[in-house]
Structure 1
Amino acid sequence: MKYKIAYLDENNGWINTFYQTFKTEFDILRIKVDNNSSIGELVEQLMASNLDAIVTDYLLEEEGDVSFNGNKIVEAIKQIKPHFPLIMLTSYQKQAISFTDDVHIIYSKDILDGENEDELEIFKTKIKSNISNYYKKIEDTNDRIENLVERRNTHGLEIPEEEELTKLYILFDELNPEGKDMPANLIHRDSISKLNEFVTETKEILEELKKLNKKK
């Protein structure tokens, strides 16, 4: 079964090039960004498409029809799924780096020209590895939460373990904002509500601590 990835660009030529380059290894959702596109609508479409990764062009404004660049799409996705596999391709790496927090997701668009097959194969492997690592992180977090919850219910937890469980709850909420595949111990509606309340309260506390640290 192939991984499903989206590619966003304002140029039909680049969209076709990307599709032809990666269609053997991946199922490709091709999205043309134009003057009718909005970040909100694009994110909604992406989130509803059961994707394993998202690749976007950086300079979507290049042809003058779009009022935002790919980094804004990346930021919007990260607000919802901070750990989701994202890649940004560009012919303007210096500019992209200046406007992107995570510079490690930026790759040269020259990789699509087909002149360096070894580099292209490495890039494809990186995409697959990013996706598999993402799902492994979800699985490992899920397993560890189940382990700690079971231990807490039977023997109780030490303070460091309670702290670890708190961090894992927050991480799991970031990895699974839709609440899918919750640990078996937490699938009851009351448990999920309590978990959501707990995560929200913990995030609020962390934000307050950040504000206090900035004032120092």
Structure 2
Amino acid sequence: MKYKIAYIDEDKGWINTFYHTFKDDFDIERIEVNSESSIQAITKLLIDSDVDAIVTDYLLEENAEVPFNGNKIVEEMKYLRPYFPIVMLTSYPNQAISHTDDVHIIYSKDILTIEDDKDEEELEFFKKKILSNITNYYKKIDDTNLKIENLVEKRNTQGLNVSEEEELTKLYILFDELNPNGKDLPASLIERNSISKLNDFVNETKEILEELKKLNQKN
């Protein structure tokens, strides 16, 4: 089964180029944006499409007067899903770098233009990096799931020490960030009462962290 990648651009030519370049390796969800597009609509579409990774053009306003650029999509998705695999392709890497927090996700669109064997090698390496990002993301979910299950089982049978309770707290928060919609909950947490307690715990913890951030900013 192929992983599913969303590609976002305002240019139909680049959308077709990306599709034909990657269609043998991934299922491609083609998303064309225009002047009527919004960040909220795009992020909802991405989440509802259940994609495994996102690749977006940077300068979306170049040809279609889109009211935002790709960095805004990245920011919103990183807010909703901090660890989700996202890549930005652009013909304007210098401009993208100055408007993007994580410069490591930025790649030149030249990678889609193959003229010799070296270009072919670079493209294959790029495909492997995308695949690795996706598999690492799902491995992180599985590892976090397993750690929570093991600690919850130990807490129920033997009890946890202070460091283990702290680790479990951090794992709950990480799990919520990895699974914002509550998918793939550990078996120990599938009871309605457990899920409710976990959601309350995560929300309260996040509120405390936000208040601490505000205090630090004032100082």
Common fold: TM-score over 0.5: yes
Deviation at 1:77, TM superposition (A): 1.0
Counterpart amino acid of 2:136? N
How many positions carry a matched residue from both structures?
Answer: 216
Q: Structure 1: 5+ residue runs without aligned partners?
A: none
Match of 2:129 in 1: 126
Q: Structure 2: 5+ residue runs without aligned partners?
A: none
Distance of 1:201 and 1:162 partners within structure 2: 16
Larger displacement relative to structure 2 (98-107 or 125-134): 98-107
Deviation at 1:213, TM superposition (A): 2.4
Counterpart of 1:214 (choices 210, 213, 217) is: 217
TM-score by length of 2: 0.96
Match of 1:29 in 2: 29
Match of 2:73 in 1: 73
TM-score by length of 1: 0.98
Deviation at 1:64, TM superposition (A): 4.4
Distance of 1:213 and 1:80 partners within structure 2: 23
Deviation at 1:214, TM superposition (A): 2.6
Match of 1:50 in 2: 50
Counterpart of 1:189 (choices 179, 184, 192) is: 192
Work out whether 1:138 is the aligned partner of 2:135: no
Match of 1:86 in 2: 86
Deviation at 1:80, TM superposition (A): 1.2
CA offset digits 1:25-81 (Å, max 9, x no partner): 000011111112111111111101110001000000111421100011111111211
Counterpart amino acid of 2:31? I
Distance of 1:173 and 1:64 partners within structure 2: 36
Pairs within 5 Å for 1:95-106: 95-106=95-106
Distance of 2:114 and 2:20 partners within structure 1: 11
Provide the identity percentage.
72
Deviation at 1:94, TM superposition (A): 1.2
CA RMSD in angstroms comes to: 0.9
Distance of 1:172 and 1:37 partners within structure 2: 31
Distance of 2:15 and 2:64 partners within structure 1: 17
Distance of 1:67 and 1:207 partners within structure 2: 29
Match of 1:177 in 2: 180
Work out whether 1:204 is the aligned partner of 2:197: no
Counterpart amino acid of 1:16? N
Distance of 1:7 and 1:47 partners within structure 2: 13
Q: What SS does the corresponding residue of 2:60 show, helix, strand or coil?
A: coil
